[in-house]
Amino acid sequence: MAEARERTTPKFAHKLSGQENYAAWKLTLRRYLRQYDLGKSEYTIWDVVDGTLKQPAAAADTISDDDKGKSAEPRISITKREWEKANDFALLVMTNNCENEPYTKIELEELAHSAFNILKNNYEGKTVTHIGVVLANVIKHVYDDRTASIDEHITEFEKRWSFMRATVSNSAFPDNLLDFAKHLKGLSETEAAKSEFLLLSLPPFYNSTVENLRTNATYSYGDIVNQLKLYIPARQRGNRGGNKGKKDEGPSSEPVILKAEQRKRDFAKQCDYCKSKGWRGIGHTENECYTKKRETNETKQETKKVEKDKCETSDSEAVVYQNTVQSADIHSTTNTS
């Protein structure tokens, strides 16, 4: 039995705004209302909201054993007045913690259970579109160091991941979506999947950091987070430091990373050049390969240097030969004289 306590209307950290925070809001509501019991019964106010504790009949002053589904247990009396007070309090908690749109959907409801069902049907997310939106909400979260630090990016990523996990864990899906929801639930509970989605949210500028983290199979999600918080700022500082003294080509706020439209990945693309070196070679073609261009340029520069050295050597040899001939001529002329 929940401990009896004075009822106070709480202010949740985040009011219900829609599907994006319904799962978290529902958990907060349930945890709060389960703290308040009803008289001397084993029920709490949450049982009124979720429909476990039915409204007493108008002619009855207590709830029957059949209504409670407790026919084999001693009779527990709940007065009609106690039920009504619990219902009104639950309605007050819900309406006070809803933004405008959800509020307008339940403001005229007189039963907490009915109001809760309205919000549940509107925001719980039981369609394939809703599940897709939850997953896309994670995938589309891409790091941009012009607007956020790596700490802020990870915090937002974890918030979106938790929402996806809560949605597929706490929703009752129709039969045609059970498989989809089941597999997404399994994905959301897999640490390796969470780690990979976080790494995929980083733009190409950090590819070397990402690949280094992927190669370490012993890293947990927490390890990867710690490494990103350590290496990403250092990489940014190193890049900015390397650009000091160079001619400015744009505003001082020019980002370190590539622009958003340049960061879209096409995982159907594969690079044979990178694969020949034992790398993954995913997300670009050989013609687009930065590594190949860089190494080709380095080879060209080395070739030019070798050719230049050869020319300088040939010139030096020619000068030596010319000086030798001139010395021989002078010596011959002297002897003749």
Read off φ and ψ for residue 74, nearest 5 degrees: -55, 145
What angle is formed at CA 179 by the lines to CA 175 and CA 183, rounded to 5 degrees? 150
Lowest mean pLDDT of 42-51, 204-213, 284-293, name the range.
284-293
pLDDT, one tens digit per residue, over 116-146 is 999 988 887 666 667 777 888 899 899 988 8
pLDDT at 286: 83
Distance CA 40, CA 25 (A): 28
Maximal C-alpha separation, the chain: 150
C-alpha–C-alpha distance, residues 2 and 43, integer Å = 8
* pLDDT tens-digit readout, 47-64: 999 998 888 775 444 554
**246: burial class by Cβ within 10 Å (0-12, 13-18, 19+)?**
exposed
Amino acid at 335: N
Both tokens of 35, joined, read: 């703290």
